[in-house]
């Protein structure tokens, strides 16, 4: 089933099965299991997909929830074994809970409890996915911008002037977020729970909703837990309604990956190549040998380049235009750390991290967008959970990664005018050469501080990036997707 343990996590190897697991459980110790990752030779889901709704009738009755019915039909058309009620099912591969019609928080009780009754039947590596609408103003982190009484004069109004039914609806929608994230912390056996927030006016079966379902149902999302994909438009290939994208969704796409010579960047380049992309690996000249070796293995031409060079974007663009005539995507992966407590931080440490991690992606993207060859550009930046929750001794790094979150949010409307998207991926604890140097005790603690109780792999980060570069994510932009196993520390 594509289950694979983290690289050197000996504890996981011991407790994931057999006597070691029994001992860990009896002692109340963490008992993580190897995660279900993508394997093209096995089914995408380890069992039937159960689609539940929260319409005007009971959640198990087809016809009571049009959106749930439509989702079930599309999943059937695309080859999944789909059920509308759990009666007689001893094993469930995934539960899709359609809550797009939820208008009052009390309406969550019945579908939530029905889901609860099914969790013991969820297969190892199973999935729970909610499909709902975003609360007004909350997802963006600002004050809610709600309709006023003038929009609905007949409705009773709250103190702020918003109709009470809109206030009720907003409470219900945001309630789904808290519910889903709590469900994610209750998953066992490597199962995960995630959600898709579908903007008002966008169909529950829009291409990127179906594409997001593909991603979240599959092993490609193994280390994504307790997170939401926000679908803001109907953009995307209509063909997703009848069939997933397959193994090469990036066929012939020209994609640049910075910091590609080693670590997460190397894994990103290899996975994008495996998915059909023409990868342009970029790294500093000092990494010339591993960069050249990677390029030879991928059958492409590398570009030795310091991303902080004032003309880095221009040189990347010319390289792509000369060889391919265009550029379709860029992954801003290059990054450095210069950790120090702020009281001991000097200007060089602080400024150098900002220069590589944030200022270079900003400058390069601006230079790329100055040319029509970048129309339709897909931008993915590497953020970090440190930039979301903060991290002791990483004020410079956290600031730089938070800057990436802000960058993609602001770029989204700019790129939308040219058919492109901008998103970020925020990894948590990922098993790399860098994290392998952390003292063993601290490394073990860091691995267990998430709902999946283990570190992720560079592959997990690469899978999320590949999804965001694909047509399946054409309706997703301005978002930051955490690949952290639902890290339990900080925001």
DSSP string for 256-271? EEES-SSHHHHHHHHH
Q: Using one digit for the tens of pLDDT, what is the confidence trace for 217-247?
A: 999 999 999 999 999 999 999 899 888 889 9
Q: Residue 28 has which token pair?
A: 């109340």
Judged by average pLDDT, the poorest of 85-94, 148-157, 402-411 is 148-157
Computed over every residue of the chain, the mean pLDDT equals 90
Q: Report the run of H or E that residue 196 belongs to, with start and end.
A: strand 192-198
What distance in Å separates the CA atoms of residue 127 and residue 188, rounded to the nearest whole number? Answer: 11
E strand intervals along 259-316: 278-283, 303-304
**DSSP β-bridge partners for residue 75:** none
Tokens describing residue 371: 């040319």
Q: How sure is the predictor about 380, in pLDDT bands with cuts at 50, 70 and 90? A: very high
Give the pLDDT of residue 437.
76
Residues with Cβ within 8 Å of residue 123, at least 6 apart in sequence: 46, 47, 91, 92, 93, 189, 191
Phi, psi of 480 (to 5 degrees): -120, 115
Higher-scoring residue by pLDDT: 407, 447: 407
Q: pLDDT tens across 101-147, in order?
A: 999 999 999 999 999 999 999 999 999 999 999 998 765 433 344 44
Instruction: Measure Cα distances from 188 to 1, 11, 123 in Å.
Output: 17, 17, 9
Both structure tokens of 119: 């969790």
User: Which tokens hold the place of 390?
Assistant: 């903060």
Cα separation of 160 and 152, whole Å? 14
Torsion from C-alpha of 312, 313, 315, 316, nearest 10 degrees: 110
CA–CA separation, 474 vs 367, rounded Å? 22
| pLDDT value, residue 157 | 53
Model confidence band, residue 488 (pLDDT cutoffs 50, 70, 90): confident
Strands 3-4 and 35-36: antiparallel
Position 146 scores a pLDDT of: 46
Nearest of 476, 362, 473, 369 to residue 418 by alpha carbon: 369
Asked if 303 and 316 touch (Cβ cutoff 8 Å), the reply is yes
Active site residue 397: yes
- Listed in sequence order, the residues at least 6 apart from 326 whose beta carbon sits closer than 8 Å to its beta carbon are 254, 320, 373, 374
pLDDT value of position 150: 47
Q: Name the catalytic one among 3, 11, 324, 397.
A: 397
Q: What is the pLDDT of residue 162?
A: 58
Start-end of CATH 3.40.50.720 domains in the chain: 32-231, 254-483
CA dist list (Å): 441 to 16, 436, 437, 455: 19, 11, 11, 14
The C-alpha atoms of residue 217 and residue 7 are separated, in whole angstroms, by 24
> Given CA atoms 370, 282, 273, 214 in this order, what sign does their dihedral have?
negative
Most confident of 2-11, 14-23, 27-36, 270-279: 270-279
Topology annotation, domain 32-231 = Rossmann fold (3.40.50)
- Residue 122's nearest CA partner among 26, 218, 187, 31 is 187
- Segment 197-209 mean pLDDT: 96
Nearest CA-CA partner of 10 in 444, 309, 483, 423: 444
Q: Which two tokens stand for residue 151?
A: 């929009």
Q: Are 293 and 315 in contact (CB under 8 A)?
A: no
Helix (H) or strand (E) holding 381: strand 378-382
The CATH number corresponding to 254-483 among 1.20.1530.20, 3.40.50.2000, 3.40.50.720, 3.30.460.20 equals: 3.40.50.720
């Amino acid at each position: 089933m594509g289950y694979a343990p983290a690289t050197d996590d000996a504890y996981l190897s011991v407790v994931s099965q057999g006597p070691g697991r029994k001992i860990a459980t009896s002692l109340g110790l963490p008992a993580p299991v190897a995660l279900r990752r993508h394997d093209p030779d096995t089914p995408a889901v380890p069992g039937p997909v159960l689609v539940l709704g929260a319409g005007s009738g009971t959640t198990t009755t087809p016809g009571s929830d049009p959106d749930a019915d439509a989702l079930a039909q599309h999943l059937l058309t695309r080859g999944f074994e789909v059920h509308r009620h759990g009666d007689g099912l001893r094993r469930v591969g995934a539960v899709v809970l359609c809550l797009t019609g939820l208008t009052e928080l009390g309406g969550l009780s019945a579908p939530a409890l029905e889901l609860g009754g099914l969790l013991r039947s969820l297969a190892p590596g199973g999935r729970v996915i909610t499909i709902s609408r975003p609360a007004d103003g909350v997802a963006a982190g600002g004050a809610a911008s709600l309709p006023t009484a003038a929009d609905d004069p007949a409705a009773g109004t709250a103190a702020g002037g918003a109709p009470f039914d809109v206030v009720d609806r907003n409470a219900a929608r945001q309630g789904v977020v808290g519910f889903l994230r709590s469900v994610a912390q209750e998953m066992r056996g490597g199962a995960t729970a995630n959600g898709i927030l579908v903007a008002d006016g966008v169909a529950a079966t829009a291409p990127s909703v179906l594409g997001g379902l593909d991603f979240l149902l599959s092993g490609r999302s193994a280390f994504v837990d307790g997170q939401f994909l926000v679908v803001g438009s109907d953009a995307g290939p209509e063909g997703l309604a009848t069939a997933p994208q397959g193994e090469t969704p990036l066929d012939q796409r020209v994609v640049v990956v910075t910091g590609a010579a080693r670590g997460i960047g190397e894994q990103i380049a290899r996975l994008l190549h495996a998915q059909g992309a023409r990868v342009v690996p970029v790294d500093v000249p000092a990494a010339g040998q591993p960069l050249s070796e990677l390029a030879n293995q991928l059958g492409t031409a590398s570009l030795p380049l310091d991303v902080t060079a004032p003309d880095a974007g221009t040189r990347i663009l010319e390289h792509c235009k000369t060889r391919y005539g265009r550029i379709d995507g860029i992954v801003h992966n290059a990054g450095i750390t210069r950790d120090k407590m702020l009281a001991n931080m000097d200007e060089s440490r602080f400024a150098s991290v900002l220069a590589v991690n944030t200022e270079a992606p900003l400058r390069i993207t601006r230079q790329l967008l100055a040319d029509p060859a970048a129309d339709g550009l897909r931008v993915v930046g590497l953020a970090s959970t440190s930039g979301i929750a903060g991290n002791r001794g990483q004020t410079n790094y956290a600031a730089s990664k938070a800057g990436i979150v802000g960058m993609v949010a602001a770029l989204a409307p700019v790129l939308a005018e040219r058919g492109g998207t901008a998103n970020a991926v925020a990894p948590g604890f990922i098993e790399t050469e860098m994290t392998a140097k952390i003292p063993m005790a601290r490394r073990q603690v860091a691995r267990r501080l998430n709902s999946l109780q283990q570190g992720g792999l560079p592959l997990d980060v690469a899978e999320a990036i590949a999804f965001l570069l694909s047509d399946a994510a054409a309706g997703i932009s301005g978002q930051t997707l955490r690949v952290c196993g639902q890290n339990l520390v900080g925001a």
